[in-house]
Amino acid sequence: MPFLLVWIALLSMTSKSFLSDNTINYLMLAGLILIWGTSFLLINRSLIFFAPEQVAGFRLFIGAVVMIIALLFNRKRLPKLGPSWLHFLIIAVVANLLPFWMIALGQTTISSGMAGLLMAIMPLATLVLAHIFLVDEKLNRFKLMGFIVGISGVVFILGPTLLNSSNSLVGSLLVLAAACCYASGTIFTKRLPVYDPLVASTGTLICAALVSFLIWPNLLDFNLSDVPFISGFSIILLGVLPTAMAMLLYFHIINRAGATFLSNINYVIPVVAYFSGALILGEIVLWHDMLALLLIIAGIVISRRKVATKFQ
């Protein structure tokens, strides 16, 4: 299904489609939600054989290769050595390498559904960081109220974990830290010069892949013949879909429909992540997780109330 939706997106970039523009926009949005929402499943299956640093490193390498192909297909070039590559490097470490590794490491002790649920805190963490580092995005009463409601959802998650749960506190905190890394990367990107999205994405993944092989020199320390099919297939999909193709969809949706339309994914991705873990991996659905999910999504909705009414 995600492959079909990505194909529709690529078709819309190059030629006239038999579908309406609005239909294509929603199909691409659905594809992005499915790709990112099920990425935690792929991480879970990859971890059957690969170590967390291998999961992070290989998905970055595969993603970089896919993006380089996309760059060549669009006849674009990477910038020469200079400040732009320093920017790409910082984003690579903060918004790619660190969170990819922390999520994989966290998922060694927590379920894929729990990881997806915890990642829902990212938009709320972005609110706080934007208030501190961006002049024109200060907290207001709606943002503050939304943050408090959303954080209370995280408390509902961590409370049972502290008392008695199959999900570890350390693993949960690692995924929360990854969400904060994503939020930090968003803020840093807003303070940078405007780059071509495809060029910036490719440069960032190249930097992230190179750094991963520098800091983890034992990434290739395994026998290819020992790799189970499910782990090998999952890590390839992890690099192609949520690491590379999702980035192409992400920027294409923004260009076609705008950032406000794209923001709808924040409400749905944690739901897809949580229930796909339950349906496919047989992970247990708990009532306090459902309450936490509702609180976090409610927090996101409340925090965006002023933005929603501004354009009416």
User: What angle is formed at CA 46 by the lines to CA 44 and CA 49, rounded to 5 degrees?
Assistant: 115
Mean pLDDT for the chain overall:
83
Strand ranges in the chain using DSSP code E only, listed in sequence order: none
Task: State how far Cα 278 lies from the chain centre.
Answer: 20
How do residues 43-86 score in pLDDT, each as one tens digit? 999 999 999 999 999 999 999 999 999 899 888 999 888 889 99
Closest CA to 199 of 100, 87, 31: 87
Structural domain range at position 64: 2-310
Coil, helix or strand for 194? Answer: coil
Domains of the chain: total: 1
Report the predicted TM-score, pTM, of the whole model to 2 decimal places: 0.86
Evaluate whether 96 touches 204 at the Cβ level (below 8 Å).
Answer: yes
From the list 18, 1, 8, the residue with the least C-alpha distance to 249 is 8
- 181-218 pLDDT tens trace: 998 888 888 777 778 888 988 999 999 999 999 999 88
